[in-house]
Structure 1
């Protein structure tokens, strides 16, 4: 049976979305999402968002609910990607939400159509993907000069080395997860 995640703010506040459970899938808890989106409130409206390892879509759909103009959700699990498309239709957001069924690392090795203002990186905790994903985001033109990048990982794991142009904006821990919101600082 499919699980549910609740959108906690914005125009779709209170809506429940179904998601397909899968290996390593743990939707970001409401409390952590609320903290994250409080941190981001001045940066969401009008933003282009990229949700890598989208899973339940909790982070990306929350951003759309709060004013993001475009969301690209990347999910490797076929059934989960189909559910994400269904949830975009359920919300009436299919014109602003693109779901890509595929491998995030392979996608990031290509050049994007346009850079992103906000990126969510929340891979399965068992995989050591944050460092290579961040390097590819930085070197392949995926980020605007003022981009914000959200990272979530197992709290027991040390944070990897990040691109030199990134600085920690906020960070915290909740249960088994540690999270960071980073700001890219490139003049221009």
Structure 2
């Protein structure tokens, strides 16, 4: 998963150090490794799942406006940037993780990445920018995927937008608006991956 499991930062996470890394699979930064905090609950999206997702998005990612709702290690947002997204906004509640995202952004000279240290549900409570591609990969067992879907449907998505949702494999598919069509679906280990498109 590409996020911190805890919804509130704790003392341990604030002192965490970057001892692990994520790898960018493709694009202009292909093969580049970026440091990831060794913090409790922070587990980046695996290369296997990430490769499947970006194969799904291959024809859509170039010049897209992307939102990573629970950025964590930034695995999805940085991959989107590397593959040609025009703008990427990353939301992350854990302050230490958000700081690491900003450090990695600087390493890549990624001026078109915006890191927001914020609570995702609060951020989405008042619509602002509309997005072409949204990643919803939240901490498990907090009902955040369903909450986020409900909020995104309130004016955050461009026509034809794509929304990737990752949940626990044992859960039923989340409830989505009538104009969200599921176009891809896969289960990999403990996670279920679904890609929706607005019709």
Q: Do these two structures clear the TM 0.5 threshold for a shared fold by scoring above it? A: yes
Q: Does 2:160 correspond to 1:146?
A: yes
Q: Alpha carbon RMSD of aligned pairs, Å?
A: 1.1
Structure 2 counterpart SS, 1:44: coil
Q: Which residue matches 1:176?
A: 190
* Shift in alpha-carbon separation, 1:128–1:24, aligned structure 2, 3 A: farther
Which of 148, 152, 165 is matched with 1:137 structurally?
A: 152
> 1:124 pairs with 132, 136, 139, which one?
139
The alignment status of 1:73 with 2:90, answered yes or no, reads: yes
In structure 2, what is the Cα distance between the partners aligned to 1:74 and 1:24? 16
8 Å contact from structure 1 (residues 71, 96) kept in 2: yes
C-alpha distance in structure 1 between counterparts of 2:186 and 2:85, whole Å = 24
* SS of equivalent to 2:67: strand
Q: How much does 1:22 deviate?
A: 4.1
User: CA deviation digits over 1:136-162, x for unaligned, max 9?
Assistant: 1011x1100110000111111222211
Contact 1:24 1:125 in 2 (8 A): no
Number of residues of Structure 1 aligned to a counterpart in Structure 2:
182
Cα distance in 2 for residues equivalent to 1:76 and 1:22:
13
TM-score (norm 1): 0.93
Gaps of 5+ in 2: 1-16
Q: Give a deviation string over 1:60-85, Cα, whole Å, max 9, x none.
A: 10000000010000000000001001
Q: Which runs of 4+ in 1 moved over 3 A?
A: 21-24
C-alpha distance in structure 2 between counterparts of 1:20 and 1:110, whole Å? 30
